[in-house]
Amino acid sequence: MESRPTPDEAAGTLDEARAAAVRLARELQLPSHFHSSVGVAIALQIGTSAVGIAAQDGWPAWLVVVGLAVFAAVAAVQLVRFRRLNGAWVWAVANQVVLGSGTAATLTYCLAFTAALLAAFGGLWWLVVLAAVAGGIGYVRCGQLWLRRYRNDPVGRAHRESTVVFALAGLVAATGLVLLVAGH
């Protein structure tokens, strides 16, 4: 029969796990062009989605799918490269840096997407591009800042999820639905 660890043994094991997490976080390496490829993919996704939604029918509507597919492909490739380079899967990095689930990245994305969408409905194509590029740059900066903070406090940062993200995603979905219905 196995014996249960004493409180001191359990605390020692937890301390070792925390120390290993801190070591891993500080030694994390990113594959080449990690941030730039994610930023370009997000900018492309914002722009193509705005144009596709504004068009509402015909071939431009397929741009929504194209933008999402490009982002999904870039995210998958970069995450596989990250795993190979570091020998570990770090969900917090995937979630916060690539998928942008942090509050700052979500707000940046929502503002850029809203600006691009409104510009697309107005036929201001230069503004669609500007909003998409700004969104890609802002998204990447948010990921870089989060990663820097994560390296300093991986245990505290790994599990901080924002409920604001879910509220904003719902708001964006509702806004998109209203815009689609209003367009018909």
Position 21 in a domain: no
The overall pTM is greater than 0.75? yes
Position 40 in a domain: yes
Residue 111 lies in domain: 29-183
Number of domains in the chain: 1
Position 5 in a domain: no
Position 176 in a domain: yes
Stretches where the chain sits below pLDDT 50 are 163-164
Give percent helix, percent strand, percent coil of the chain, each to the nearest 5: 85, 0, 15
Position 60 in a domain: yes
Position 10 in a domain: no
**CA dist., res. 18 & res. 155, Å (int):** 7
Mean pLDDT of the chain: 84
Selection from 20, 61, 44 nearest residue 132 by Cα: 44
pLDDT, one tens digit per residue, over 65-102 is 999 999 999 999 999 999 999 887 788 888 889 999 88
Position 11 in a domain: no
